[in-house]
A and B are shown apart, each in its own frame.
Chain A
Amino acid sequence: MTTAPIPDRPATRPARRAPTLDGKRLAAYALIALGAVLTIAPFYFMFVFATHTRSDIFQLPPPTWFGSNLDENYRNLVERVPFWRNLWNSLYLAVLTTGFTLFFCTLAGYAFAMFSFKGREVLFGLLLATMLIPGTLNIVPYALIMQALGWIDQPRALWVPGMASAFGIFLMRQYIGSSIPRELVEAARIDGATEFGIFRRVIVPLTGPAMATLGLVTFVQSWNGFLGPLIIFRTAETYTAPLALRSMQGIANTDWGALMCGVALTVVPLLILFALASRQLIEGLTAGATKG
Chain B
Amino acid sequence: MQATLKPPKPRRRPSWSDFQRRYAPYLFISPFFILFFAFGLFPIVFNAYLSFHQWQPGTGLGEMKFVGLRNYTDNLTDPTFWQSLKNTAILALLSGLPQHLIAIPLAFAIQGGLRRMQNFVTAVYFLPYITSIVAISVIFFTLFSWQYGVINSVLNALSGLPLIGALFPSEKINWLGEKEYVQSAVAMVVVWRYTGWNMLLYLSGLQAIPRELYEAASVDGATRAQQFRYITLPLLRPIMFIAVTLSLIGGLQLFEEPFILTNGSGGAGQAGLTTVMYMYRTYASYSDAGVAAAMSWLLFIVIGVLTLVNNRAFGRSGLAGRD
Which residues of A are interface residues toward B (Cβ below 8 A)?
A: 8-9, 12, 19, 25, 28-29, 31-32, 35-36, 38-40, 42-43, 45-46, 49, 57-62, 104-105, 107-108, 110-112, 115, 117, 120, 123, 127, 130, 133-145, 147, 160-161, 163-166, 169, 184, 188-189, 191-197, 199, 201-202, 205-206, 220, 223-224, 226-227, 231, 241-243, 245-246, 249-250, 256, 259-260, 263, 266-267, 270-271, 274, 278-279, 281-282, 285-286, 289-290, 292
Which residues of B (81-120) have their CB < 8 Å from a CB of A? 102, 105-106, 108-110, 112-114, 119
CB distance from A59 to the nearest CB of B (A): 6
Determine which of B8, B35, B122, B148 lies in contact with A161 in the assembled complex, contact meaning CB atoms within 8 Å.
Answer: B35
Interface presence of B255 (CB below 8 A): yes
A193 to B20, Cβ gap below 8 A? no
Count A-B pairs with CB separation below 8 Å: 287
Closest A residue to B117 by beta carbon equals A32
B44 to A263, Cβ gap below 8 A? no
- The complex places the Cα of A169 from the Cα of B188 at a distance, in Å, of 34
CB distance from A68 to the nearest CB of B (A): 19
Q: Mark B274-295, 1 if CB is under 8 A from A, else 0.
A: 0010011001100001001100
Contacts of B235 in A (CB 8 A): none
A–B complex contacts, Cβ < 8 Å, 12 sampled: A28-B113, A32-B109, A115-B25, A117-B25, A139-B296, A140-B50, A164-B32, A166-B32, A188-B3, A195-B25, A226-B132, A250-B263
If A134-B300, A266-B135 touch, whether A117 touches B26 (CB-CB below 8 Å) is: yes
Which residues of B (1-41) have their CB < 8 Å from a CB of A? 2-3, 5, 7-9, 11, 17, 20-22, 24-26, 28-29, 31-33, 35-36, 38-40
The 9 A-B residue pairs with the shortest CB-CB distance in the complex, in nearest-first order? A192-B8, A141-B43, A195-B24, A111-B28, A28-B109, A161-B39, A242-B134, A111-B25, A115-B25
Contacts of A19 in B (CB 8 A): 113
A39 to B35, Cβ gap below 8 A? no
By secondary structure, the B interface counts as helix
Binds A, one of B139-147, B158-166, B175-183, B226-234: B139-147
CB distance from B102 to the nearest CB of A (A): 7
Contacts of B139 in A (CB 8 A): 42-43, 45-46, 49, 260, 263
- The complex places the Cα of A227 from the Cα of B280 at a distance, in Å, of 10
If A188-B3, A282-B122, A290-B204 touch, whether A35 touches B106 (CB-CB below 8 Å) is: yes
Closest B residue to A204 by beta carbon equals B2
Determine which of A36, A58, A120, A197 lies in contact with B147 in the assembled complex, contact meaning CB atoms within 8 Å.
Answer: A58
CB distance from B1 to the nearest CB of A (A): 8
CB distance from B132 to the nearest CB of A (A): 4
Closest B residue to A117 by beta carbon equals B25
- The complex places the Cα of A166 from the Cα of B204 at a distance, in Å, of 23
- The complex places the Cα of A31 from the Cα of B299 at a distance, in Å, of 37
Interface presence of B57 (CB below 8 A): yes
A108 to B50, Cβ gap below 8 A? no
Interface presence of B124 (CB below 8 A): yes
CB distance from A246 to the nearest CB of B (A): 6
Contacts of A105 in B (CB 8 A): 32
B142 to A36, Cβ gap below 8 A? no
If A40-B124, A140-B47, A286-B204 touch, whether A108 touches B28 (CB-CB below 8 Å) is: yes
B276 to A139, Cβ gap below 8 A? yes
Contacts of A62 in B (CB 8 A): 148-150, 153
Determine which of A38, A205, A285 lies in contact with B192 in the assembled complex, contact meaning CB atoms within 8 Å.
Answer: A38
B29 to A123, Cβ gap below 8 A? yes
- The complex places the Cα of A58 from the Cα of B172 at a distance, in Å, of 14
Known: A40-B127, A57-B142. 4 other contacts (CB 8 A): A136-B276, A165-B32, A226-B134, A263-B138
Closest A residue to B145 by beta carbon equals A58
Determine which of A107, A137, A260 lies in contact with B47 in the assembled complex, contact meaning CB atoms within 8 Å.
Answer: A137
Contacts of B127 in A (CB 8 A): 39-40, 43, 271, 274
- The complex places the Cα of A164 from the Cα of B292 at a distance, in Å, of 28
Closest A residue to B33 by beta carbon equals A123
- The complex places the Cα of A8 from the Cα of B299 at a distance, in Å, of 58
Interface presence of B268 (CB below 8 A): no
- The complex places the Cα of A267 from the Cα of B139 at a distance, in Å, of 11
Which residues of B (179-208) have their CB < 8 Å from a CB of A? 192, 195-197, 200-201, 204-205
- The complex places the Cα of A133 from the Cα of B307 at a distance, in Å, of 12
